[in-house]
Amino acid sequence: MIYLQLFYEFFKTGLFSVGGGLATLPFLYDVSDRTGWFSYDQLADMIAVSESTPGAIGVNMATYVGNLTAGPFGGIVATVGLVSPAIILIMLIGGFLTKFRNNFYVEAVFYGLRPASTALIAAAGFSVVWMDLIDTSRLIDAGDWIGFINWHSLVLAIFIFFIMRHRLFKNLHPVIFIAFSALIGILFQFG
115 occurs within a structural domain:
no
Structural domain boundaries, residue 50: 2-102
Supply the pLDDT for residue 143.
Answer: 58
Q: Are 124 and 23 in contact (CB under 8 A)?
A: yes
Q: Indicate the number of domains in the chain.
A: 1
Supply the pLDDT for residue 95.
Answer: 75
23 occurs within a structural domain:
yes
- Which of 70, 48, 185, 38 is closest to 60 using CA atoms? 48
13 occurs within a structural domain:
yes
172 occurs within a structural domain:
no
45 occurs within a structural domain:
yes
Supply the pLDDT for residue 138.
Answer: 64
For the stretch 149-177, pLDDT in tens is 777 778 888 887 888 788 788 788 888 87
Q: DSSP character for 24?
A: G
56 occurs within a structural domain:
yes
112 occurs within a structural domain:
no
Q: Are 19 and 124 in contact (CB under 8 A)?
A: no
- Which of 138, 139, 132 is closest to 185 using CA atoms? 132
The backbone torsions φ and ψ at residue 148, rounded to the nearest 5 degrees and listed phi first, read -80, -10
Q: End-to-end distance of the chain based on CA atoms, in angstroms?
A: 41
* pTM exceeding the 0.75 threshold for the entire prediction: no
Q: What is the percentage of the chain residues whose pLDDT exceeds 70?
A: 91
58 occurs within a structural domain:
yes
Supply the pLDDT for residue 140.
Answer: 61
pLDDT over 80 at 9, yes or no: yes
